[in-house]
Amino acid sequence: MNFWDVFGEMLVILFAIAAGYAANRLGYLGGEADQKVSKLLLNITMPAMIVAAVITGEELPELGTILSILEVGVVFYLLEAVFALVVPRFLPGTQGQKGVWRYALAFPNVGFIGYPVAVALFGDGALFYAAILALPFNLLSYSLGPLLLAGAARFRWKQLFTPCIVASVLGLVLALTRLRPPALVGEMLDFVGDITVPLSLLVVGSLLAGMSAGQVLRSPKLWLLTAIRLLLLPVALCLVLRALGIDSLVLGIAVTQMAMPVAVNGTLLSMEYGGDTECMAQITFLTTAASIVTIPIVAVLLL
């Protein structure tokens, strides 16, 4: 793997966050604007992106390949669940903070940052593999995510029927049945979904504008969680998948996806359902900034 190719991709991501920070300082984003943009992302552009990622590939792999990726996904998310359940028990903090830490360990940014990194490392064909691996993420993060961040008191069953979850189920059905809608449908969804990544990163940057960088950088707990999220989890997954004899391409994509920073979705969900948005934005910022260095290291050393 080429360290500098991945490093350059991460700089692009960080630039988008910096642009959101600047937009807040200039008065273009912040407050009610951030909330409205997050609703736009969660209800329109993100569902479009989820479905488009599955149906816009040139050729679908064999059903056996798709099922093998989903099997790797089971290992992927079970490993994260173990860390998410165990680690926060040993860290002091409020219930809101512990919910953020569980979310941070359970849900890496497999979509917003994971897709471009997968393509940069493994070629255009890796996008479909990454999209299939992200389908359980979409189902779990938008259903369990609000429960982790806001607690059972804020959970409502209707949250299981949000546009993102519906889009995730539809994408999984289309992948398993190998149905392909007309090309124009995929083009329309892709066109709308393409704005999701940069717009989401702008919102994260805007949220960070009201925080002290020193407050984030001086927190030992945030640094510990960052090290676990970016280094320990991908190493653990790599060892497990190698022991299982998983195909090298699927292993490489899965390990690099595990090495992603905390999902931007967490900040949007915290805003929507009343979680600790400040803490969520802090860990998102720190893991994203640190991943500029750690993702190339993981790619070079483990793959």
What whole-number distance in Å separates Cα of residue 275 and Cα of residue 267?
Answer: 9
What whole-number distance in Å separates Cα of residue 215 and Cα of residue 188?
Answer: 42
Instruction: Provide the pLDDT for residue 154.
Output: 57
Q: What is the mean pLDDT of residues 3-16?
A: 79
- Give the chain as a 3 state SS string: CCHHHHHHHHHHHHHHHHHHHHHHHCCCCCCHHHHHHHHHHHHHHHHHHHHHHHHCCCCCCCHHHHHHHHHHHHHHHHHHHHHHHHHHHHCCCCHHHHHHHHHHHHCECCCCCHHHHHHHHHCCCHHHHHHHHHHHHHHHHCCHHHHHHHCHHHCCHHHHHCHHHHHHHHHHHHHHHCCCCCHHHHHHHHHHHCCHHHHHHHHHHHHHCCCCHHHHHCCHHHHHHHHHHHHHHHHHHHHHHHHCCCCHHHHHHHHHHHCCCECCHHHHHHHHHCCCHHHHHHHHHHHHHHHHHHHHHHHHHHC
> What does the block give as tokens for 233?
């989890």
Q: Is 70 exceeded by the pLDDT of residue 65?
A: yes
Tens-digit pLDDT profile for residues 201-234: 888 788 778 776 666 677 888 999 999 999 999 9
Instruction: Provide the pLDDT for residue 158.
Output: 65
Maximum distance among all Cα pairs of the chain, rounded to whole angstroms: 53
What whole-number distance in Å separates Cα of residue 258 and Cα of residue 52?
Answer: 22
Q: Determine whether domain 1-300 maps to CATH 1.20.1530.20.
A: yes
Instruction: Provide the pLDDT for residue 112.
Output: 67
Q: Is 80 exceeded by the pLDDT of residue 60?
A: no
Residue 276 or 236, more confident: 236
Instruction: Provide the pLDDT for residue 155.
Output: 56
Domain boundary assignment for the chain? 1-300
Q: What is the mean pLDDT of residues 183-205?
A: 88
In a 13 Å sphere around the CA of 297, the CA atoms on its Cβ side amount to 12
Q: Is 80 exceeded by the pLDDT of residue 17?
A: yes
Instruction: Provide the pLDDT for residue 122.
Output: 82
Residue 64 or 24, more confident: 24
> What does the block give as tokens for 287?
């893991």
Tens-digit pLDDT profile for residues 252-272: 999 999 999 998 778 878 887
Minimal CA–CA distance to 14: which of 202, 211, 225?
A: 202
Helices 126-141, 114-122: crossing angle, 10 deg rounding: 160
Instruction: Provide the pLDDT for residue 159.
Output: 60
Q: Is 70 exceeded by the pLDDT of residue 40?
A: yes
Residue 173 or 28, more confident: 28
Q: What is the mean pLDDT of residues 97-122?
A: 84
Cβ(165)–Cβ(292) under 8 Å? no
Cα Rg for the chain, rounded, in angstroms? Answer: 18
Cβ(175)–Cβ(54) under 8 Å? yes
pTM of the model: 0.81
Residue 13 or 77, more confident: 77
Instruction: Provide the pLDDT for residue 160.
Output: 67
Tens-digit pLDDT profile for residues 271-290: 877 888 888 888 988 898 89
